[in-house]
């Protein structure tokens, strides 16, 4: 490895930054607030991959980078590294989520019912050109939703039972093992220790939670198209709010510091296990923010990685190393940096080989 | 009123209202020692549903404050970078623990809780409208 000292570029760098601002518009608090308010799924994606729940900072990162996702994730991760970890929250449990969307593709009559929640899944995928033509926002046209009775509202506030619990009760899934209550501060943590393979399950799921959405989708899609060993179904997909529950350092009383958006997906597949095993197997992924594609594809990869002899693209090491957004994008863009010496050396070798008639 | 309700409600309440309310208490609480008032991270663990293992979902940016007044300590943490909000809640936590104006603090917390519950109920209605019954043919 050799380095090149560059001289005389300071003005050009300042001009490049100014041109970037000229093309993308000035950075302002109003812009950041607008991004946070109107592009929540984009903000969620940056928070999920940045592994930090801070909607205003994720919106700022997007504004500052002109919407370059990888740069925004890098900014958020860099900010995260400046902050001390001051505490560990109590674990989030599915049964305690304030669920706003819960669907199952495996069973239509799931306990608690199917809730479509905030979604455009069932809407026409057509551009609303009339919004541009009339210069009216969709919100301006929206009619007031009809009022609902309090009884119906209380149904929603009841916890939605897990589909997997019903499957376990009916012998379709292996029962959950008995576990001692865990110490939230003592879990394996990929941000503090290198990952080794086979990875502890906590490392695998943490890596998937902060993984690149596009990377997870690409590898998951390869499984879906036929390179995988299974043909799974979405057992349960949930979007909701989780309480960040902390303990008061003086009194020990548990309290909520606020709510964060989270999403989780379970994928179910028919067994292929040993005789006597439960007939169904589950894969799981969750992430900060609402991101359905990532959690569904991640849960498929979880299932594939646990299978014996997975396709090379679905081996745990391959998946977890190649879906890390900051390392992969960073390695990619480092090729833009000066490689004059290494490339010049390669050319020298080519010229020498040409003279001597060798091939490289 | 319990401490859980006070801290959980005020962490989600309108920050300006909380700060304005706490401002009135400061002269009565002097001398105040601010032990901690900073931003930092809380790691958020989650229990998965395949084998019941717990893993780290990611971190959450928090503001926290720890204060001491005569005869009591107060603590607060809330999402985001608003150090003043955390400080205001910690002062109210300390004031309530020390028995200062308990009725007034309880009334304020109750009013904020009612506003939050009302907003939750409206949102709950909107979500409930998306419930669907599926049939197969």
B128 located within any domain: no
Per-residue pLDDT, A3: 61
**CB contact residues (below 8 A), chain B span 82-101, against chain A:** 93
**Interface residue B75 vs chain A (CB under 8 A):** yes
**CB contact residues (below 8 A), chain B span 14-73, against chain A:** 38-62, 64, 66, 73
Per-residue pLDDT, A213: 98
Chain centroid to CA A163? 23
Whether residue A16 has a cis bond before it, omega within 30° of 0: no
Under 8 Å between Cβ of A73 and A50: yes
| Among the listed residues B91, B93, B80, the one whose alpha carbon sits nearest the alpha carbon of residue B40 | B80
Residue range B101-109: mean pLDDT, rounded: 96
Residue numbers of chain A with a pLDDT score lower than 50: 148, 150-155
B108 located within any domain: yes
Stretch among A176-180, B23-27, B61-65, B99-103 having the lowest mean pLDDT: A176-180
Q: Which residue of A has its CA nearest to B74?
A: A250
Return d(Cα A35, Cα A58) in angstroms, integer. Answer: 9
Residue at token pair 């090379």: A312
Return d(Cα B43, Cα B68) in angstroms, integer. Answer: 26
DSSP E strands, A133-276? 233-247, 254-270
Residue at token pair 């623990």: B97
B132 located within any domain: no
Domain count, chain B: 1
A-B CB pairs within 8 A amount to 239
Q: Tell me whether residues B59 and A53 touch, CB distance under 8 A.
A: yes
Pure H helices in chain A: 10-24, 29-38, 40-50, 55-64, 69-80, 129-134, 138-141, 150-157, 163-169, 201-209, 213-222, 292-306, 316-322, 325-333, 340-356
* Domains of chain A by residue range: 10-80, 94-126+158-323
In this predicted complex, what is the ipTM? 0.96
Q: Find the angle CA(A8)-CA(A9)-CA(A12) to the nearest 5 degrees.
A: 130
Q: Which domain holds residue B80?
A: 3-118
Per-residue pLDDT, A151: 46
Q: Which residue of A has its CA nearest to B97?
A: A251
Q: In chain A, what residues touch B73 (CB-CB under 8 Å)?
A: 250
Give the percent of chain A with pLDDT over 70. 89
Per-residue pLDDT, A139: 57
Return d(Cα B9, Cα B30) in angstroms, integer. Answer: 25
Per-residue pLDDT, A6: 63
Return d(Cα A241, Cα A345) in angstroms, integer. Answer: 55
A345 phi and psi angles, rounded to 5 deg: -65, -40
């Amino acid at each position: 490895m050799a380095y090149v000292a560059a001289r005389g570029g300071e003005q050009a760098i300042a001009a490049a930054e100014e041109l970037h601002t000229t093309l993308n518009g000035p950075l302002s608090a109003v812009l950041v607030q607008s991004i946070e308010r109107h592009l929540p799924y984009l903000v969620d994606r940056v928070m999920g991959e940045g592994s930090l729940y801070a909607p205003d900072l994720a919106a700022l990162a997007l504004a500052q980078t002109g919407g370059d996702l990888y740069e925004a994730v890098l900014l958020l991760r860099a900010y995260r590294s400046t902050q001390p970890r001051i505490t560990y929250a109590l674990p989030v449990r599915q049964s305690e989520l304030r669920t706003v969307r819960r669907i199952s593709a495996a069973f239509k009559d799931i306990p608690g019912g199917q809730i479509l929640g905030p979604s455009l899944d069932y809407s026409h995928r057509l551009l609303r050109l009339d919004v541009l033509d009339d210069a009216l926002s969709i919100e301006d046209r929206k009619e007031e939703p009809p009022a609902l009775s309090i009884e119906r509202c209380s149904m929603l506030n009841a916890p939605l039972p897990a589909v997997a619990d019903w499957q376990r009760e009916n012998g379709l899934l292996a029962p959950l093992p008995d576990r001692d209550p865990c110490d939230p501060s003592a879990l394996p943590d990929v941000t503090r220790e290198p990952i080794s393979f086979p990875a502890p399950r906590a490392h695998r799921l943490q890596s998937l939670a902060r993984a690149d959405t596009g990377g997870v989708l690409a590898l998951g899609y390869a499984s879906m198209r036929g390179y995988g060993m299974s043909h799974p179904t979405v057992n349960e997909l949930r979007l909701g709010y989780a309480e960040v529950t902390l303990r008061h350092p003086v009194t020990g009383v548990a309290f909520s510091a606020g709510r964060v958006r989270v999403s989780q997906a379970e994928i179910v597949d028919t067994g292929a296990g040993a005789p006597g095993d439960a007939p169904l197997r589950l894969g799981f992924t969750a992430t900060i923010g609402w991101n359905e594609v990532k959690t569904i594809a991640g849960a498929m990869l979880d299932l594939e990685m646990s299978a014996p002899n997975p396709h090379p693209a679905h081996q745990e090491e391959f998946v977890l190393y190649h879906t890390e957004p900051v390392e992969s994008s960073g390695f990619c863009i480092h090729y833009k940096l000066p490689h004059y010496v290494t490339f010049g050396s390669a050319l020298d070798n080519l010229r020498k080989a040409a003279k001597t008639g060798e091939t490289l | 009123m319990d401490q859980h309700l006070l801290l959980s409600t005020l962490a989600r309440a309108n920050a300006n209202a909380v700060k304005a309310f706490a401002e009135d208490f400061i002269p009565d609480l002097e001398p105040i020692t601010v032990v901690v008032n900073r931003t930092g991270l809380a790691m958020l663990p989650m229990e998965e549903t395949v084998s019941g293992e717990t893993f780290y979902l990611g971190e959450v940016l928090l503001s926290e404050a720890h204060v001491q007044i005569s005869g009591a300590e107060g603590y607060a943490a809330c999402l985001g970078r608003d150090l003043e909000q955390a400080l205001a809640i910690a002062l109210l936590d300390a004031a309530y623990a020390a028995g200062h104006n308990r009725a007034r603090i309880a009334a304020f917390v109750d009013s904020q809780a009612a506003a939050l519950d009302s907003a939750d109920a409206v949102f709950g209605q909107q979500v409930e409208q998306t419930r669907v019954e599926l049939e197969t043919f």
